Structures are given as structure tokens and as C-alpha cells.
Structure 1
Amino acid sequence: MKAPRKAEDVHATLANAFNTGNVDVVMGMYDVSGIIVPEPGKPVSGQAKFEEAIKGILSIKGKMEIKTVYCLQTGNIAVGRSEWNITDGSDVKISAKGIEVMKQQPDGTWKIVVDHAFGAEAGLVVAS
């Protein structure tokens, strides 16, 4: 899968990566030195934890769709707000509103550094 060359293309490319069902393809979308939040209040980082999180999301059988609400870029950093879901036919398996931070790589492509899949949900409270 071709890595996105524009920050605003990251969400669509990520959905396509998930829809391949291939862990390695999805992992290629991320800078694993960053953070992924696969469940509310449960951020993880590092190669092994990222892979575990991706496998968990891929275990939800269905098609992922991601709508970009906005993408703001300054230089080689961008922040996006998304609305995403995984559906199986008309059955919605999961649906949420996320926030993602993306960074342009030296080769001009973009990777996700912070993926807070539930970061824009109303009433989200982070325990201290």
C-alpha cells in the first residue's frame, strides 16, 4: 500500500490499510515511537504494544470507514479529527470520534504519531 503524501489523505489511507486485514500494512501507517489509544483510557506505545492493539482492532470483523472532519497542518506536523466506524453489512460493530497527530517523514510521506481513536468523544474523562 502506498503511504500518503498529503496529511489530509492519512485517514482514507488508514481505513484502506485496515481493510486489507494485514497487520504489517496497518503498522506501516504508524510511527511506533508514538502513542495509540485502542480503548478509551488505555494508551500504549512501542512496537509490541502497537502490534497487539492493531491485532485487536483487526479482530473486529467488518469494513472500516474514516471520515476526515478536519486536518490542520503546519510544516511537517498535522492534527486531524475523524469520525470512524467498523460495519458488517448494516451492523455497526464500533463507532467513535478520534483525534490523530501526524508527522511528515523524511521521504515526504505521512505517519500517525498519536492515534487517540476515542479522543473527540463527548464526556470522555481520563482517570489520573
Structure 2
Amino acid sequence: MNLPTRAQDAHATLAAAFNTGNVATVMSMYDVNGIIVPEPGKPVSGKEQFEEAIKAILSIKGKMEIKTVYCLQTGKLAVGRSEWNITDGQEVKVSAKGIELMQQQADGTWKIVIDHAFGALEGMVAQY
């Protein structure tokens, strides 16, 4: 799977990566030194914790769809707001609104540095 060459394509590429069901493919979308928040209030960082988070999400069998609400880019950084879900036929297994920070890599591709999968839900408050 090719990494996106435009920040605004990161959400669609991430959904396609998840839909392969392959951990390594999904991991390639992320800078594992960043942060992923796979469930509200539980941010993780580092390769091992990223991999555990990805495996947990992949264990939710179904198709992931991600709609880009917006993507704002300045230089090599971009912030995106997404609405995403995992469905199995008509059943919605997970649905949320996220916020993602992407960074352009030296080769011109984009990786996600911070993925707060539930960060745009109403009433979400940062926990320190």
C-alpha cells in the first residue's frame, strides 16, 4: 500500500489500510513515536502499544469508512477532522469523530503523528 502524497488523502488511505486487515499495512500509516488514542481517555505511544491498539481495532470485524470533514495544511503539518465508522452489513459496530495530526515525510508522503479517534465527540475533554 502506498502512503498518501497529499495530506487530504490520509483518511481514505487509512481506511483502505484498515480494510486490508493487515497490522503492518496499518502501522505504516503512523509515526509510532506519536500518539494514538484507540479509546477515549487512553492515549498510547511507542511501537508495541501502537501495534496492540491496531490489533484491537482490527479485531472489530467489519468495514471501516472515514469521511474527511476538513484538512488544514501548513508546510509539512496538517490537521484533519474525521467522521468514521466500522460497519458489518447494516450493523454499525463503532462510530466516532476524530482529530488527526499528519506530518509530511522526507519522501513527500504523509504519516499520522497524532490520531485521537474520538477527539471531536461532543463533551470530549482532554485528560492529563
- Give TM class, smaller chain: over 0.9
- Alignment length (residue pairs): 128
1:13-52 equivalent positions in 2, closer than 5 A? 13-52=13-52
CA distance in 2, matches of 1:74, 1:127: 27
Q: Which runs of 5+ in 1 are unaligned?
A: none
Q: Which runs of 5+ in 2 are unaligned?
A: none
Q: Shift in Å at residue 124 of structure 1?
A: 1.2
Structure 1: which 4+ aligned runs deviate by more than 4 Å? none
Instruction: Report percent identity of matched pairs.
Output: 77
Residues 16-56 of structure 1 show CA distances to partners (whole Å, capped at 9, x for unaligned) of 00000000000000000000000000000000000000000
**TM-score, L = length of structure 2:** 0.98
CA distance in 2, matches of 1:106, 1:33: 16
CA distance in 2, matches of 1:30, 1:126: 22
RMSD: 0.7
**TM-score, L = length of structure 1:** 0.98
Partner of 2:78: 78
CA distance in 1, matches of 2:117, 2:8: 17
